[in-house]
Amino acid sequence: MRREQGFTLFELLMAIAITGILISLAGPGFLQQIRQSKKTTCIIYRQNVQTAADIYIKTHNLKKNDDMPTFAEMISENLLTGEERCPSAGIYVWSDHKYRGPNVPFLVSCSIHFLEGM
Ligand SMILES: [Zn+2]
């Protein structure tokens, strides 16, 4: 008696059902993990941008009401690599585009994660 090659319909349905069950168990947790890791990366990048701005402000002796440095200016001075972008495609902006002095905190905010983690 010759055995047929390939899978039976029942075997295929079982494989699909098992795959579906595994995805339904792991999916939500997995997506949550991805969201959390993107948020953490965003926080780290924003902290890097703030540190770079701090160095830029001191190096260029920025005064009160001077414009905050742009990304391009910080990249051209090798303070940033240009990789510092929100992994969720958020846009970084200064909480205030003017430097308000050494005792006034300046924060970089993300259009998706806002000031989370700062
Ligand atoms: Zn972000």
Q: What is the DSSP letter of 53?
A: H
**Residue 67 CA to ligand 1 centre (angstroms):** 23
Rounded to whole angstroms, the Cα distance separating 6 from 24 reads: 27
- φ/ψ (deg, to 5) at 114: 50, -130
Predicted local confidence at residue 3, as pLDDT = 65
pTM: 0.76
Of 65 and 117, the one with more pLDDT: 65
SS3 label, residue 64: coil
Residue in this structure with the two tokens 């001191």, named with its chain if needed: 58
- What average pLDDT score do residues 22-42 get? 90
Distance 91 CA to ligand 1 centre (A): 7
- Paired tokens of 10: 């029942």
| Long-range contacts, stretch 107-110, CB < 8 angstroms, 24+ apart | 107/50, 108/46, 108/49, 108/50, 108/53, 109/46, 110/42, 110/46, 110/86
Beta strand 92-94 with 108-110: parallel, antiparallel or unpaired?
A: antiparallel
What is the pLDDT, as a whole number, of residue 62?
94
Domain boundaries, the chain: 39-118
What local confidence, expressed as pLDDT, does residue 76 receive?
96
2 pLDDT higher than 80: no
Residue 28 pLDDT grade (very low, low, confident, very high; cuts 50, 70, 90): confident
Give distance in angstroms: CA of 87 to centre of ligand 1.
7
Tokens matching residue 40: 């953490």
| Distance of CA 60 from the midpoint of ligand 1 (Å) | 28
pLDDT score recorded for residue 1:
59
The three-class DSSP label of residue 106 is coil
